[in-house]
A = this chain, B = another copy of it.
């Protein structure tokens, strides 16, 4: 079997997740990770993984089929996506919601001109959650979608707390509020405010001598991040933070609550639920499955930008159509 040759561009938590996921897929081969650091300074999770400088990727177009882009959506991907899709099929997790249409157009034109496939906005939200909103909405046109996130660490909110004066370190958990979840699951289609859906719980390490009351006040009133939520702040030691809050769990659920029947009074509930001990390892696993799909679509002559909504599910699997029909239907 010819293996699908994969590269990883960007080697943070997500890149590491992708590295580990590729090792679970025998039809794939990791050619190397590409980093802006000095390659010799990069310690990879698997000793056999090779590290290259990101500028060397352009010389390796004959060695790599699919490049999985593991940079951030704010500054890395808008630049790297179009650059890399000129050279390789690409997968990325672009998640700046408002800019997806514009990014899609840019990637689509570039990928088509280069004869490549670029699957954008892959992961779980956007990604698997989007797919579930798509399927559930098509099946139950008369209905309402609810998305809850957590319990899990929000990197963005943790970073926002760390920028406050007097804060040494912090982790923020987004927590769905059980009462709201139960209401939605009952099919009552409630109207829920931001505050009613999620709680924000913060574990903060204050610098010695810092004014904790002031820090707590600044967190709770921070616009966009916290002011619309009920927020709980705990001050703890760096040791406790390291020991008890160093994981990267996440998850959440998408619920569509719809009605069918002649009088639109039959309740039908579809729920998709993720409980993840490691967000980057899971997201990496999703990216890898879509790397296979990009490769298989390219083999059939497909080019351009795609999203999870465009990819036939069977392309994600290494198994044949006949095997899948026998085992999964």
Q: B-contacting residues of A (Cβ < 8 Å)? A: 17, 20-21, 24-25, 45-46, 97, 100-101, 104, 121, 126, 128, 130-135, 137-142, 185, 187, 260-262, 266-278, 281-282, 284-286, 289, 292, 307-314, 316-317, 321-322, 324-326, 328-329
Contact = CB atoms under 8 A, between A and B. Distances in A.
Contact of A282 (B100, B130, B135, B260): B260
27 contacts: A17-B260, A24-B142, A24-B260, A97-B329, A100-B325, A100-B329, A101-B325, A101-B326, A126-B329, A128-B135, A138-B316, A139-B286, A260-B281, A260-B284, A260-B285, A266-B277, A266-B278, A267-B277, A268-B274, A268-B275, A269-B274, A270-B273, A272-B272, A273-B273, A308-B313, A309-B329, A310-B321
Contacts of A185: 275
Give how many copies assemble into the complex: 2
Contact of A20 (B104, B262, B325): B262
Contacts of A313: 131, 134-135, 308-311, 313
Given A260-B282, A274-B269, A277-B268, A328 B20 contact: no
A187 B274 CA distance: 12
Contacts of A97: 329
A329 B131 CA distance: 8
A276 to B, nearest CB: 5
A322 B278 contact: no
